[in-house]
Each structure stands twice: as C-alpha cells, then as structure tokens.
Amino acid sequence: MNIDNHVLAIDSGNTSIKVGWFINGRLKTVETFNLNFLIPLEDWLKNHTKYNAIMSSVLSDEDTKKVIDLLDNCHLITSDTELPIKLDYETKHTLGIDRVCNAVYSVSHSKTDYCVTVDIGTCVKFDLTGPDKHYIGGSISPGVQLRYKSLNDYTGKLPLISNKSRANLVGTDTASCIHSGVMNGLRAEITMMMQEYRAEFPSLTFFMTGGDASNFDLVSKNDIFADENLTLKGLHEIYKHNA
C-alpha cells in the first residue's frame, strides 16, 4: 500500500458496514450502510473507487468479497497483516479484527502503561494492552439486544423488547422489569469491570466506543475517552503502519 491523501477505512460488522473517509490523516465523514441492502454502498463507492482502502470484516468470505469487488485497491486485514502492536493472545486466529483495531488506536493515543477499550455493541468487549504495545486479552459478553433476545428466545412468555433508554431501578410491569434488568444489569457489569481494571492496573486509560455506548452515562472520569469512530481510526492506524 502507498500513503495517499484519501483513504477509506471500512468496518464490516455483524449488522452494518461503516465507511470512514480520511483526508490527510483526518476523518472527514462516516457513512453507515445496511448489511442486507448494499445498493446505497455500491452507489457511494462509485465516487470513491480510486482511493486506497483498508477493510476489517467479520462477514462470511462471500459477503466480504462482495464489498472488496466494489473497490479498485482494497487491503483486507488478515492474520498476515503487519500490526503496530504485539499480540500475546493464545488463539490469534480467533481474535476479532475490530478488537485489534480498537487496541491499535488506544495504544497510539494513550500516555499510560496500560489501556482498555470498552466496545458496547452487539457484544460488550473489553480489551487490554500493556507496556511496549502488547495486546494482552480481555472479555466478551452479550450486548443489550442479545440480552433482550435471549430472554425472549429461552422463555415461554417473556416479550421481546428493545428499549435502550435509561431504566428505573424498579420495574412495575414485565416489560419495565426486563428493561431494568438488562440496562441496569449491563451498566453494573461494565462499571464493576472498570473498577476491577483500575484496581489491578493503576496506570490505566479507558477508551469507550460502540453503537450502544451512548446509552450508558459512563464517561464521568478523566481517565475515560469516548469515540464512536474508534474502530475506524484504528483501521487507519494499521493502514499507515503498512503504507
């Protein structure tokens, strides 16, 4: 890859495809496309096919190829891609590229020995990096919608809801009880995990991202930085490392 003033960073996730357009190293715009309806993505990329692109994908090989074929010069991140961090993960081939991108960005912008990215989306992912740019590991648990869906799927009568607003502690009907259990339970989980990390790694910075991060008022301390486009920016860092 060559350094170019215009670079596309493409994050193909479980439910949508996000495209970040970087000009001279700065993120100019972000476009989000429905995974099940790619015509708008095709139309948008027609005006940007000449730019270099880098992509991370958790899609099937077939769906990943559909996106790559829309571009003239797209580098797909694989296990062979050179990274600006060292992976200490025992099963590197199973490590999600989105988690790698988040870790790359946090390492590049942290002034502390350790940093943790908290990605609140389909799943809730914590990822820890340490001294000398080493990726250590983290945790994965179900996100908001997965929790709602499991309650509906694995019971006979609990309804499926999707309310992601702030919940009262005490629900007064079945729907509000589910709402409280999922939203307050997940908030408590994330808060407790962050406290545990702070206790074990005193020189620590948190980076928070993900589609559902804005539903939790967690950015209240000076060691937490929120950025909804953290994964795209991590992709761009990997692009620069390989340029």
Q: If pLDDT is split at 50, 70 and 90, which confidence band does 99 have?
A: very high
Does 161 reside within a domain?
Answer: no
Residue 175: is its pLDDT beyond 70? Answer: yes
Residue 14: is its pLDDT beyond 80? Answer: no
pLDDT digits (tens, 9 = 90+) for 47-80: 887 889 999 987 888 888 888 888 888 999 987 8
What is the domain range of residue 21?
6-76
Task: Let me know whether 207 and 108 are in one domain.
Answer: yes
Task: Let me know whether 202 and 227 are in one domain.
Answer: yes
Instruction: Check which CATH number belongs to the domain holding 209 and give it.
Output: 3.30.420.40
- Residue 26: how many other CB atoms lie within 10 Å: 8
Task: Let me know whether 132 and 195 are in one domain.
Answer: yes
Task: Let me know whether 56 and 107 are in one domain.
Answer: no
> Residue 185 and residue 25: Cα distance in Å, rounded?
39
* pTM for this model (two decimals): 0.89
Task: Let me know whether 18 and 122 are in one domain.
Answer: no
Task: Let me know whether 234 and 215 are in one domain.
Answer: yes
> Residue 37 and residue 30: Cα distance in Å, rounded?
18
Task: Let me know whether 49 and 131 are in one domain.
Answer: no
- The structure tokens listed for 182 are 């999922």
The catalytically annotated residue of 63, 72, 98, 119 is 98
Does 168 reside within a domain?
Answer: no
Task: Let me know whether 59 and 118 are in one domain.
Answer: no
What average pLDDT does the segment 134-153 reach? 97
Task: Let me know whether 15 and 122 are in one domain.
Answer: no
What average pLDDT does the segment 192-219 reach? 92
Burial of 196 (0-12, 13-18, 19+ CB in 10 A): exposed
What average pLDDT does the segment 148-171 reach? 96
| DSSP structure class, residue 107 | H
Active site residue 98: yes
Which residues, 6+ apart, have CB-to-CB distance to 90 below 8 Å? Answer: none
Does 152 reside within a domain?
Answer: no
3-state SS, residue 1 = coil
